[in-house]
A and B are shown apart, each in its own frame.
Chain A
Amino acid sequence: MEGAADSGRAAALARLLHRDCTRLLQLYKEREDFLSQHAPGGERLVTLALCPEAPSTAEQVGHVRSALRRCMELLECLIVREVEEMGEELQGEYESLRKTVKDRLGHLLHSTGALLENGEGGCPPSPPKQCTEDEVEGSDSFAAKLWTYRVLLELIHWTDSASQTLHVFHTEKHGQQQLL
């Protein structure tokens, strides 16, 4: 029963995190209102191209966790860049929620890691990137704004994916324990 409860909590946390990320993007659009009028193009920042096939739900959870781990790297880089750019002085709702998302994303990574006992479904680690040089395409402020937008989109996408996958995982886990 403990495993089902953990998966349930992880699924709930993923749902909560998805709402946080959606709100975070909304706040960012309010600050940079051109994003509400135009859709920036560009490729996906987080893909599972390197991940093997994932026929089982547990493996899918592993894949999602790998994506979330990459999202965490991007979010940390985003925070570093924004603090470097704007300093610590701005402390509005966006900055507060940004920190909350980072903390909850860390908890979700931890809890999903605990669910995967054998580390199944893990993807090969992506090559390390320097935050300020490699991650952001372009060094100007406008490029950084577009990149931030894309990072927030990735967060929304993968937390939603994690929420759904963990819900399925929890349902299966719960069903198995019922059978036992």
Chain B
Amino acid sequence: MQGWVTLALLLSLGAKRSLAQNGLGEPRGLTLNPDLPAQTLSLAWQSDSTLFDLEIFHTEFMNVVLNATVEVQADPVTGLHSWTWHSPLPLECTSHSVRIRARNQQSVSQWSPLQTIPGWDIPEKSYMFPEDKMIPVGSNMTFCCIVNEKEDFKEIKYGRQEMKATRLSRRSYAITVTNQPASDNTGTNVICSSQKFQILTGTVVFVGYPPGDEGLVCETRDLASAECSWKKGRDTHLRIKHSQTNYTLNGRDCLEANERKTWCSSKMWEENWTLEARNPLGTVQLTDSAQLTDRVHLLAPVNVAAVKVEAWSATLQWSWSVAAYKKLEMVCQLRLFAHELSSTRNYDGPGLSSVVLEGLWPDVDYTVTLRCGSKHSFWKWGDESAPYRIHTKMDRPDALDVWMWMDSSNTGHVFWKPLSVRKSHGALDGYEVSQSSAEEDGRNTVSLPPGNFSYPIILNNSSDVTVAVAARNPAGLSQPSTVTTPAYRADSQLSVSELLGTNGSFVLSWEPNVSASSGYVVEWFPTGCTGHCPIDWKKLPESDRSFTVNSDSLVAGVRYTVSVYSLSTGAPTLLQRWQGYSQEMIPSQSVSELSLNQTGSDVLLSWKATEMKQQRGFIRGYTIYLASAAHLDLIANITDPAVQSYRVKGLTLSSYKFVVKAYTSAGEDAGATVAIKMEMDTADMLFVGILVPLGIMFCCIILFSIFFYKKREWVKKAFYPEIPGPKVSGDWSSPRGPLDVKPSPHSLVHIVKNPEWDFTKEGLFPVPEEEEESENDNMEVDTDSDEPALLRYYNQVVGDGSHSNQVSDSSASSTASMGSTQTEITYAGIQSPSSSQGAYSGGGYRPQMQSVTGPAEPQIEFEADFQDDGLNAGYKPQCSWQLDSPEAENFSGSLGSPTSVTSSQFLIPESSEEKPQPSNTWFHNFLSGKS
């Protein structure tokens, strides 16, 4: 262990020896000189070397804040090396220690002893640094808070912003603020507070801008001195007095200038001017250069007065407050203000001090202001004088614009237009109207108050009347204006042309008239106007050929009568007349008296046009609509406005609503509505009620006929099946006697008693049983038996050839048994063949026909009929039943039964061998296709 210590001492001694051998001496006499406001620390020392290592510490924590190598030459006079360090931290914040050593490449001397400047964190008090610092906007700054010995530090706030603090020493804390914004009026507060939210200390920093003034201009007001002004630049944000901007003009303090007053004066004119604006943050210089005569800015004229005032002119005088102006060539601008009569006039001359104002108007209040400037090298107008009031005198009024309008054959009005201010030349006292005619001597003069602008005239005879009108004011009477009664009437219906408005105006043109020596008059008034009409007119020189009546004097939707007259020495002459609308509108009222009249299926609509006042445009036509629930269907557009009716044809029986609208070029009116419910008239009812059903029925018959003809086979089968002819085999010439027929038990034969049986009919009939019993005693008839009763017929001819006219039917056939007390037979379901029996003599089916005569006669007829059957191949069923039919025996049991039987089958089955005898009726022929 002792050996290691010895080695270390030897090495240390060796190192010192090597430094000494380098020849680099330790810097001597290091002194520190702090500049606290500038936050700089100046170091001075003695040394033979020029290169030095520097180290600066925050003493208490020995934090290195600078470690640099600098080359510093010695001052040749004092032999001292000096170097200045700018501290980012106020030097008061904490103690700083400095040491220095010389360096020669890699060789260094020993460090000088530490030199320390004490900070303010040693005394027992709270401080904050820097104090009242002024810095430009955007700069960075470090603030430190030195806390009192017994206080607990909490935070540092920059304005309202809490900052992160770093500890410099036991009692000192620092914050660094970057890019600082501009301060308020009294600066930005930086507050250091304790844990108890009490203010320990604080400081104020003023953040602003250097001066930004610009635009220096110097001028003279008195032709000797100078006044220089400039424009204020951006706000410096530095309000406290010792931070405000100071100004110097050509090196002289400009005390009158401040934040709001940006001008400075100099007693003598200098051709070159320099203004320097300075505040703690910077300086700006402004320059200007000009000759005095180029910068003359005159003061305002004083003592302005009107020395002579007339109706049309006035003389104005003034004086100057600067004597030097009297020789200055100047130009003055005089501004006259009056209602609708404002004007500006310029006058020039050396030392101008009076002018004569020409072209004024009588009885007008003028306000005059005056300002002047240097005529040569005009710089700007001088100050304006105070307003001065001039009231011109009155003068006689101008002549009136007079026109006459006749509203009847002998009455009319003389109109005149009110005089404007420019023409009345003073407040009017009234008017004087005088009337004269060629046949009467003298004039009748009437005075009217100033509010009147018309006067009625009455013509006593046919001669023209001349009326003269003059205006009167305190200055006198105007020249009279005359007008002669025109040989026309205002509402006369001379040839009137239609006039279309153009953009709300009437554009008129007419052919020149040689008699228009005094020009023309264009007159317009509402058409049809009576009484006090708003007559308007315009007098035009004779060279004019056209005129536009402006929309200002016209009302849209009102029909105007526009006339052009030629003026000469006598009465005006009407040249042309129009009627028109300046702007057409849709009618304000619909057509009137809209009515309708039904004629059959037609409806006649008729109406009357609206009155002219409500037309508001030329009626170009009418539109007729059929109104439905939701919309209108146009059915007619009548383009001739004279047509005021329309016939709607071919309407069916229903309800209708018609709308009639009149239209102008602007469009349709709202429309008038009329409704009707169509009813049938007598002829129609007759037609529809009788003829139409008849026609329909006829058509149906035709159709049925055609149908049945086409389907005759089917119909025949369905309704008239062919009845098979009876089989005739063997001898039909059986002896006369009763024919016993035993009906088939399956036949549905209903035997009914018909008290109305027509005995006039001929044919088969049952023989009464009493007679049978009397004549055929050997024949037993069991009436109670279930077997069909045996029907007994006489085999006799029912009738001869005349029986074809006899009509028989099934009922007749069935009633043939009415004579029986036991049975009534009805052949239901059997188509009656009786109708056909008349068509063929002796032909056809005649089964049970009986004669109306006695029983003997039918026998004869029946026999004869059978004899005819051979010729006609007719139906002879009874023979087959009794003689040939193998089933006759089976049926015989059921015949003669008193039971009512209804049969749906034909009694006589169809025979394939025997063709049935066709009916001889037309219908039968029709169905059979026979002609």
Contacts and interface: CB of A to CB of B under 8 A. Distances in A.
Given A86-B239, A87-B244, A141 B204 contact: yes
Given A38-B198, A39-B198, A86-B241, A142 B131 contact: yes
B197 A38 contact: yes
Interface string B723-735: 0000000000000
Contacts of B187: 141
Interface in A77-100: 84-87, 89-90
B240 A85 contact: yes
B245 to A, nearest CB: 12
A140 B132 CA distance: 6
Given A34-B191, A38-B191, A86 B204 contact: no
A146 interface: yes
B2 to A, nearest CB: 63
A39 B200 CA distance: 10
A34 B157 contact: yes
Contacts of B258: 87, 89
Contact of B185 (A34, A39, A90, A140): A90
Contacts of B184: 31
A37 B160 CA distance: 9
A90 B260 CA distance: 12
B241 A39 contact: no
Contacts of B201: 142
Nearest to A42: B199
B244 A142 contact: no
Nearest to B193: A38
Contacts of A34: 157, 189, 191, 199, 202
Of A40, A140, A141, most B-chain CB atoms within 10 Å: A141
A32 interface: yes
Nearest to A41: B198
A86 B203 CA distance: 17
Contacts of A37: 157, 191, 197
B298 interface: no
Given A38-B191, A142-B204, A84 B198 contact: no
Interface in A1-57: 31-34, 37-41
A32 B160 CA distance: 11
Contacts of A86: 185-186, 239-241
Contacts of B202: 34, 142, 146
Interface string A128-162: 00000000000011100110000000000000000
Contacts of A90: 185, 239
Contacts of B128: 142
A80 to B, nearest CB: 12
Nearest to B240: A85
Nearest to B239: A86
A25 to B, nearest CB: 16
Contacts of B199: 34, 38-41, 146
B259 interface: yes
Of B187, B199, B203, most A-chain CB atoms within 10 Å: B199
Nearest to B126: A41
Of B131, B187, B197, B202, most A-chain CB atoms within 10 Å: B202
Contacts of A89: 239, 258-260
Nearest to A144: B204
Contacts of B132: 140-141
A90 B184 CA distance: 12
B201 to A, nearest CB: 8
A41 B184 CA distance: 25
Contact of B189 (A39, A87, A142): A142
A140 B186 CA distance: 12
A141 B191 CA distance: 13
Interface string B180-219: 0000111101010100011101111000000000000000
Interface string A59-85: 000000000000000000000000011
B203 A140 contact: yes
Contacts of B240: 85-86, 141
Nearest to A39: B198
Nearest to A33: B160
Contact of A84 (B131, B186, B197, B241): B241
Contacts of B241: 84-87
Contacts of B160: 33
A86 B204 CA distance: 14
Contacts of B203: 140-142
A137 to B, nearest CB: 11
Interface string A83-123: 01111011000000000000000000000000000000000
B634 to A, nearest CB: 77
A171 B701 CA distance: 133
B437 to A, nearest CB: 83
Interface string B252-274: 00000011100000000000000
Nearest to B130: A140
Interface in B499-528: none
Nearest to B160: A33
Interface in B110-137: 128, 131-132
Interface string B422-456: 00000000000000000000000000000000000
Contacts of A140: 131-132, 203-204
B294 to A, nearest CB: 35
Contacts of A84: 241
Contacts of B204: 140-142, 145
Nearest to B202: A142
A180 B132 CA distance: 63
Nearest to B243: A85
A89 B245 CA distance: 14
Contacts of A40: 198-199
Contacts of A142: 128, 131, 189, 201-204
B664 to A, nearest CB: 69
Contacts of B189: 32, 34, 142, 145
A142 B187 CA distance: 10
A44 B213 CA distance: 46
7 contacts: A32-B189, A39-B198, A40-B199, A84-B241, A89-B258, A140-B204, A141-B203
7 closest Cβ contacts across the A-B interface? Answer: A141-B204, A140-B131, A142-B202, A38-B199, A40-B199, A34-B189, A34-B191
Interface of A: 31-34, 37-41, 84-87, 89-90, 140-142, 145-146
Given A40-B198, A84-B241, A146-B202, 19 more contacts: A31-B186, A34-B189, A34-B202, A37-B197, A38-B197, A39-B199, A40-B199, A41-B198, A41-B199, A86-B185, A86-B239, A87-B244, A89-B258, A90-B239, A140-B203, A141-B187, A142-B128, A142-B131, A145-B189
